[in-house]
Chains A and B, each alone.
Chain A
Amino acid sequence: MSLLFTERSGASKVRKVGLFQRIFMGGINHFRQALASLGDLWRSPLATMMTIGVLGLSITLPSTLYIMVKNTEKVTAGWEDAGEISLYLKADTTATQAKQLLVAVSLMTTKIDDARLIEPEDALAEFESLSGLGDSLAYLDKNPLPYVLLVTPKIDYLQPDAAKILLQDLEQQSVVDFGKLDIEWLEKLYSIVSIAKDIVWIVAILLCVSVVLIIGNTIRLNILSQRDEIVVMKLVGATDNFIRFPFLYTGFWYGFLGGMLAWMLVAFLLWWIQTGVENLAGLYQTEFTITGLDMVALGIILAISISLGLIGSIISVQKHIKEIEPK
């Protein structure tokens, strides 16, 4: 390896450092440096905990929002599947006409999954039992409810736009008074969810940038506080890379520990929110559990936070290690 003394490099091949040993010791050195960086963090627990706390909280917010949005999507996806079209037939429609329509609609097998006719009597009975107006209904001299045809479209026609076209199709039938596809509120919900998604992205990007800056600044302070040590290492022939790696490992550990903290915080927050969500779901007679915080999520959170830690430390190290030179 000697640049100046060729006789020295010749000797080194024989009795000093062989290629295999160089690689092997390089690996050992990296492992040693990684542990040493962790040890350095351990020796200044308060500063380390504060840094990790900031990182953890910064990553927690977008992660929690992301999981909430994912769960909202899951819920609305369920609603979408249950989408039905109600066709209200004209009041003077006879039972025969209604049955004919049912057959006609049922034959549109490319678009329709299922069609069901609700007789006015059945509808009245259901209304009676659910509304609690049983006695008052007895005063009506005739059943005011029309025939209703419940149509379940095929999956392809469940999307709001496609469902609308299908509805217009069905309204062409002569006995149909009007059809109802209550997707407007669904569309509103979708646009709210999509805004929420955008907000999650904006918040996530801002916080990720701040994480990079925080780590970059922390590493900068570390480098400056070890200025003398870096000068000595440069004097005895350390390459910039050799000096760099411990700081990169520090960035790595910040990212890793911050990510772990974030994961725990997200788990705690979701557990907290879960009670409220259960109450709400109970009001709708359903059950709902927030999901999404699994090992994959942990992996993603860790990958993101470690990358951020490394990016921050690389930026800082590139700039500052070069500046420190023995004088």
Chain B
Amino acid sequence: MIKFDHVSKTYPGGQQALQKVDFHIEPGEMAFLTGHSGAGKSTILKLISLMERPSVGNVLINGHNLNQIKPSQVPYIRRDIGMIFQSHQLLMDKTVFDNVALPLIIEGYSRKQIQKRVSSALEMVGLLHKTQQHPQTLSGGEQQRVGIARAVVNRPPLLLADEPTGNLDPKLSMEIMQLFEDFNQAGVSVFIATHDLGLIARMKYRTLTIKEGRMIDDGLAEGQDAFLGADDLNQPPITKLPPKYTL
């Protein structure tokens, strides 16, 4: 699903964010990306969502090389990727409904379809009763769930999350993670960048670790888990192939 092939990224000004990063996430897999702040987690997500381009190497999604994507095609790529951000990136002057409907309006769905899909997305995250409220009247966890509903509303095959639980307490974090598990079980590939190691330890999914721009552990080899020091990850990676993808 996501394949990094000797990817390096140097930002203008000489800061080397990634050095020869290689990894492959299978379709239907759920995986974590972890590392200290500034290690390069965000850069990896930005390369996948085409907010940045690699300096060297190739990023492939579903076998398509993103280097061959023209700037005018970028919006269409992003429609296939549900993105969730630590800062939610919600429109504060629009209702919850309008926020979640935005990707569908952009894709030109009819009013009826939008109504149906937004309702089902909000139902999944448990916010169906808050459709007409504005995001600032919601709690942090609820705002994050609105962001998740927006990410999944057009049923993308791939979900990317950047510190989705960054501002949340452990209980809410766990709820959010369970949502991701649900989507994963429905066949969606999920890739989550987080530094919440406790959470990762409880989840027992494949974990990729990045340090100073280098992939020091791609979560596949056993017994090299220096960063986490946990036995949990010595289990074989959970790689689910998608069952029939329905939401």
Spell out A's residues near B (CB within 8 Å).
1-5, 8, 16-17, 21-22, 25-26, 29, 228-229, 231-240, 242, 325-327
Contacts and interface: CB of A to CB of B under 8 A. Distances in A.
Nearest to B78: A237
B15 interface: no
Contacts of A1: 76, 79, 107
A232 B157 CA distance: 20
Interface string B55-92: 00000011010000100110111111001010001110
B139 interface: no
B226 interface: no
Contacts of B90: 232
B80 A3 contact: yes
Contacts of A5: 62, 80, 157
A232 B61 CA distance: 22
A116 to B, nearest CB: 79
B78 A235 contact: yes
B76 A236 contact: no
* Among B73, B79, B83, residue most surrounded by chain A Cβ atoms (within 10 Å): B79
Given A8-B157, A21-B110, A232-B91, A2 B102 contact: no
A239 B79 CA distance: 10
Interface residues of B, number: 29
Contacts of A233: 102, 106
Contact of A237 (B64, B69, B79): B79
Contacts of A231: 89
B108 interface: yes
Nearest to A23: B108
A4 B106 contact: no
Given A5-B62, A231-B89, A325-B51, A239 B109 contact: no
Contact of B76 (A2, A22, A229, A240): A2
Contacts of A228: 91
30 contacts: A1-B107, A2-B80, A3-B64, A3-B77, A4-B61, A17-B107, A17-B108, A17-B109, A22-B108, A25-B108, A25-B110, A29-B105, A29-B108, A229-B91, A231-B89, A232-B89, A232-B102, A233-B102, A233-B106, A236-B83, A236-B106, A237-B78, A237-B79, A237-B106, A238-B106, A239-B72, A239-B75, A239-B106, A242-B106, A325-B51
A245 to B, nearest CB: 12
A2 B78 CA distance: 10
A306 to B, nearest CB: 26
A210 B49 CA distance: 41
Nearest to B85: A235
A237 B108 contact: no
B41 interface: no
B150 interface: yes
